[in-house]
Structure 1
């Protein structure tokens, strides 16, 4: 992968933020297809490159005119928001976005896996980006010029799944007025993604196992096997070992697929991914691409406080909603952030204490925020300030607890020195 080429003049002006982005970009993007340049640089744009023009200014801004370069103005090169904006600008329309250390390690490992043809099993809750990771593996593989066929096993009727996967001959069953090659043959020379693999009926699992082992399929109504050359990636949002133990998934198919498992964690457990994902969605869905509203620090704090039961899909809903609520403004403020569920956390407009917040009108958002802050403080006190024990009591990771504490502090809610700086 080619590295980002930065000249000396650019490095003097934008080296801090560019170096931060480059450290992350090498795990995610084809850096040879990205060009970073100063906004004053009038030299011809490099053909085929995704160009980002940078300006250091007082008011952050981001936008793109037509199909030209992304214009990005940042205020603080060391801020999370500035880095998140730049990563979003560097990403392709369907490319991966991440900044969390563990997420980046997953993509780095996936990059190494891509050069082989071994099956990959991607585990993780719904909406965590399993298909994005699958497409990343395909794009980095020798099969990148071949087809990428994604099949959602839960979205197709059980009675049709076999015919849609393996194909059928004309007249093989009622309604088969013409032959169909099926998804497996359609993926010949490329990658087949089997999403929600745990939903596949048991009787089809045996046929799929043989197709994977022999690299051949027998269409319905035919007796002649047809050779295929495919790489299989399977995704599951349920625990497959449990499904095997309870007889709902074949053990032999599980071991065939589980050559190299990858696991994507819920979004709430990788808070560093939230800001770049949010800015990428703002770029993708803004009504006016030349004037994309920028997330304020308060809005970013709100996003980090949320528990994200719907993961990245919920974040996309929230961002599309926020873009509508900005009404042409240049900044997405905390009041524009509305979550899918009524259980949400809203940042206070000014530094306050829990007691002062409690004295405000009893909006559900305030009640929920007070409840979470009090639960954290009380648990920390009960655990003698030990964050590790408190996190276990609260049912979250210690890392998530640290981010919740920091986000509450950034939102202006004083929750006590013990909570902020408690013992490990």
Structure 2
């Protein structure tokens, strides 16, 4: 990709900021789709381009004027805030946002491999932007005009996974009142994203492997294979080599998917991404003038550990917009971080290191956390821990006692861990 187009006036008025933004834009955006100009320039804009107007003034700010025009006022061309605002203004609805050098190197590498059809395995914690990276690969590939189908393997009912992935014939099973092509055929000519691939049951892993090797699917109820042309991108938030070693993930499927691995680090390890992401999220969730983060507010955001990654940042930004309503700035007093469902002290229960709050395992909460959602989350966590304790940490038995599948139990345990409820390693191990 080329850098941002410029002219003599733009170079004279905004040269330092344009140079910094242009270096990053070359890795993330389609420069031809961005119409950069000084705010005083009233010439007609480029057709179908996102217009970004720049001005320099004492009061920094960012204002969205319609769906394709953003005005940015900056004070210091070399400040982190100025760069963050211009990156947020340049980004399209599905464009990635990054400024951290390692994040930029991942996207630069992703652009290079996008031109091929090799499978890609994206690793990283939940909420780090794996689907955004997947879409980036798709839009930079020769398949960009084809469909992009995203499937969360953990969110689909286990009994329906095979039919939803590979399709089915009418009458193939009870309730199949009509035929369905399935996600793989729906993605024909494009890209299929299999998110949380580690949650795919073993028997379906074998069928997926064959579909990838032969580039064909056999719908349920049919004996005829149907050819498909699909590029597979898989995402995992768990250690797949460890899953292979424990027998929960097929080694042959792992090596089939792991042709080109990419890794997205947690947000806390890429602090330079925080400010542009914060401005982009503020633009997304506000109308008209967007309150501008002060330097102090940005410093607070960069120092946070972000256990919930970008999803948590989005919560904080939306909360700040509400608290700063009517104000031109988002100051440190408007920054309120998520309060994770973390219990108070630790005891070993059934071999699990579980945090709890004394009698009845009820945490100390203030008025702000006595919401129904928090109470339900704590109650569910307590019950799951008690059943796991009674089953000696055996996940399969505990799932049966709870009336859910082991896969669903693993998903609940992972959600509890992400929410800050500390559960020891055995709960995530084999436990059979």
TM-score, normalised to structure 1's length? 0.80
8 Å CA contact 1:326–1:332 kept in 2: the answer is: yes
8 Å CA contact 2:153–2:196 kept in 1: the answer is: yes
SS state at 2:290 partner: coil
Alpha-carbon deviations, 1:96-153, whole Å to 9, x = none? 0000000000000000010000000000000000000000000000000000000000
8 Å CA contact 1:3–1:32 kept in 2: the answer is: no
Alpha-carbon deviations, 1:194-247, whole Å to 9, x = none? 000000000000000000000000000000000000000000000000000000
8 Å CA contact 2:3–2:23 kept in 1: the answer is: no
CA shift, 1:342, in A, is: 6.3
Residues paired across the two proteins, number: 343
SS state at 1:14 partner: helix
Matched, 1:11 2:11: yes
Unaligned residue ranges in structure 1 (runs of 5+): 345-363, 365-424
Q: Which residue of 2 aligns with 1:415?
A: none
CA shift, 1:64, in A, is: 1.5
Alpha-carbon deviations, 1:253-285, whole Å to 9, x = none? 000000000000000000000000000000000
Q: Which residue of 2 aligns with 1:339?
A: 337
Distance in 2 of aligned mates of 1:109 and 1:6 = 26
**1:391-410 pair list within 5 angstroms:** none
> For residues 68 and 114 of structure 1, do their structure 2 counterparts lie closer, same or farther at Cα, with a shift above 3 Å needed?
closer
Q: Which residue of 2 aligns with 1:110?
A: 110
CA shift, 1:68, in A, is: 4.5
Distance in 2 of aligned mates of 1:121 and 1:228 = 20
**1:149-168 pair list within 5 angstroms:** 149-168=149-168
CA RMSD after TM alignment: 1.3
Distance in 1 of aligned mates of 2:338 and 2:163 = 37
SS state at 1:277 partner: helix
8 Å CA contact 2:3–2:25 kept in 1: the answer is: no
CA shift, 1:343, in A, is: 10
**1:174-185 pair list within 5 angstroms:** 174-185=174-185
**1:290-309 pair list within 5 angstroms:** 290-309=288-307
Alpha-carbon deviations, 1:375-410, whole Å to 9, x = none? xxxxxxxxxxxxxxxxxxxxxxxxxxxxxxxxxxxx
SS state at 2:289 partner: coil
8 Å CA contact 2:49–2:68 kept in 1: the answer is: no
8 Å CA contact 2:316–2:337 kept in 1: the answer is: yes
TM-score, normalised to structure 2's length? 0.78
Distance in 2 of aligned mates of 1:309 and 1:234 = 23
SS state at 1:99 partner: coil
Matched, 1:276 2:276: yes
> For residues 55 and 343 of structure 1, do their structure 2 counterparts lie closer, same or farther at Cα, with a shift above 3 Å needed?
farther
Distance in 2 of aligned mates of 1:10 and 1:160 = 56
Q: Which residue of 2 aligns with 1:318?
A: 316
Distance in 1 of aligned mates of 2:20 and 2:121 = 31
